[in-house]
Amino acid sequence: MTTLQTNTPWLIQDMLGEIGIKQKLGIVLLWLLTLFVFAGTVLQLIDPAAGILDIGILSVLILGLISGLLAIFCSIWLQELLWQPFKTFRKHLGNHFNQLTSWQLCVLYFSVFFLLVYAVLLCLIIVF
């Protein structure tokens, strides 16, 4: 007596692929949106003495994260929609980055560092 074993195929073949950056951003965005909606209830379940100010500060933090991720998501979407070569460039970014010389890498690192410092200073000016 021989046993016949068959491999059952996946119902959806697309589910076998990896999740892309857009899908990951979308999942995080939905999770943060759900957390934003239920932030007050969750905080009051954890700490019944939590006041309105605590819930408001938590909501502003989550809303800031949502708006930041939404800006990243929209910029990636618009860049790929309006400028098609960006999509292929982003997929092969590792090859392009490794071809840079050492002085080009230093210029790139320092420019990103100083732009981040400038952004932090501008945010501090806005806050104060």
Q: Determine the Cα–Cα distance for residues 122 and 118; give it in Å rounded to an integer.
A: 6
Q: What is the pLDDT of residue 16?
A: 55
User: Residue 41's closest CA among 28, 54, 29?
Assistant: 54
Q: Tell me: the pLDDT tens digits for 93-113?
A: 777 778 888 888 888 888 888
Judged against a pLDDT cut of 80, whether residue 20 lies above it is answered with: no
Contact 44, 50 (CB under 8 A): yes
Confidence of residue 10 (pLDDT cuts 50, 70, 90): low
Q: What is the pLDDT of residue 22?
A: 73
Contact 43, 54 (CB under 8 A): yes
Q: Is the pTM of this model over 0.85?
A: no
